[in-house]
Chains A and B, each alone.
Chain A
Amino acid sequence: SAVISQKPSRDICQRGTSLTIQCQVDSQVTMMFWYRQQPGQSLTLIATANQGSEATYESGFVIDKFPISRPNLTFSTLTVSNMSPEDSSIYLCSVDQGSSSYEQYFGPGTRLTVT
């Protein structure tokens, strides 16, 4: 199973600023995903990040607000831009081991609070 780390684990940011969240995997993976989990809610998929191509965003999420980088097969970043209090959430990355199952491994999450 893949081991995933995220940085930072939590942050408090002022509105209007941006935060970049890092996701590091201990093995090479093809597919990486970014999710948002608002307080007390379920997870919502933001985008799929594949190495060597542009990220694919889900409905309601745009690249200008959530730019994603995927420079190699073990690393990805998600930036939350021009933050507002509504962006206060836990952001999680996950990876697909590529075994054609629905078994994904999740990072511990980044808890973001925007004041």
Chain B
Amino acid sequence: LAKTTQPISMDSYEGQEVNITCSHNNIATNDYITWYQQFPSQGPRFIIQGYKTKVTNEVASLFIPADRKSSTLSLPRVSLSDTAVYYCLVGGYNQGGKLIFGQGTELSVKP
């Protein structure tokens, strides 16, 4: 499974757009990129998944450049409730469903 590197922490203010970048230089051809969000005292929650280019849903956007060696999770107009830890995971469908979590990025949104 490809190793991921993310910033340990980020600060933002309400209403700003937040971009969290994840590096995964050893991503394999059949690997997908998935992001999870974890609030304090809760289990992680799936946010978004992509393979290349751009994916958007009601929560976030995921930008993946052509070389796929990094990805950026974009959270538009964050609010205090977006304060959480965000995990970037990389893996393929043939990994037996195992999720390998890295350290994650602790996002703190301030008023």
Contact = CB atoms under 8 A, between A and B. Distances in A.
Interface of A: 4, 31, 33, 42-45, 48, 92, 94, 96, 100-109, 111
Given A102-B32, A106-B43, A109-B43, A42 B97 contact: no
Contacts, number: 56
Given A101-B49, A102-B32, A103-B49, A92 B98 contact: no
Contacts of A33: 97-99
Q: Is the interface of B mostly helix, strand, loop or mixed?
A: loop
Range class of the B interface residue count: 20 to 34
Given A31-B97, A102-B32, A94 B102 contact: no
A42 B102 contact: yes
B45 interface: yes
A104 B97 contact: yes
